[in-house]
Amino acid sequence: MRPWRRATFVATSVAAVELVLLVVCGAVLVAGPLSRAVQRRAETHVRNETRKAVLQPPAPVRKEIARQHAAPPKPSHSRGQTRVLVLNGNGRTGVAHAEAAKLQSLGYTVAGAADARRHDYATSLVMYRPGFRPEGVRLARDLHVAVVGPIDGVPRSALQGGQLAVILGAR
């Protein structure tokens, strides 16, 4: 073996050991303050969560929350008396009309089937006019739709006489 190769090997080995020592020293110097900062942040989070748990809302607010999540009353309108507007919100051709046919076979009256203004709905949803929440929940259960909510800011004329609207999403 030639002497310059041995010298190169030794110099490279010494440099590698120095690099490892520098990385270890840097980690030790940074780890202390970083762990203290993480510890303080965790303690603050626990204190805030404990404070939230202790400061519960007053009884009327809790009752209102319970009422919103309680089962809706029984529908006052039969499926045949409930008019549904079906809107295609996923962009696939013919989906609204196919769903309208399914609703008719379930006994619902279909107010119309058309395309929604947008075609980027990720999931299907059922919306109801004021006073038709029980019917909306029943329709959602019939269609296996998880999202149910009131219709906000939509004029009655846009619903084509329907009390409920279904927007069909990608799922």
Q: pLDDT 10s digit of each residue in the chain, 171 long? A: 567 888 899 999 999 999 999 999 988 888 888 888 888 888 888 777 766 655 555 555 455 555 555 666 788 889 999 999 999 999 899 999 999 999 999 999 999 999 988 888 888 999 999 889 999 999 999 999 988 989 887 787 888 889 999 999 987
CB within 8 Å of 160: residues ≥ 6 apart: 85, 111, 112
**Exposure of 83 by Cβ count < 10 A (0-12 exposed, 13-18 middle, 19+ buried)?**
buried
- What CATH number should be reported for the domain whose range is 83-168? 3.30.70.2390
pTM here is: 0.58
Buried b (16+ CB within 10 A) or exposed e, 106-142: eebbbbbbeebeeeebeebbbbbbeebbbbbbbbbee
CA atoms within a 13 Å half-sphere pointing along the CA-CB vector of 14 = 6
Which residue type occupies 55? L
Question: Among 116, 129, 123, which Cα is nearest to 87's?
Answer: 116
CA angle 86, 91, 93 (to 5 degrees): 75
Helix axes 133-143, 95-105, angle to 10 degrees: 110
Q: What is the pLDDT of residue 30?
A: 86
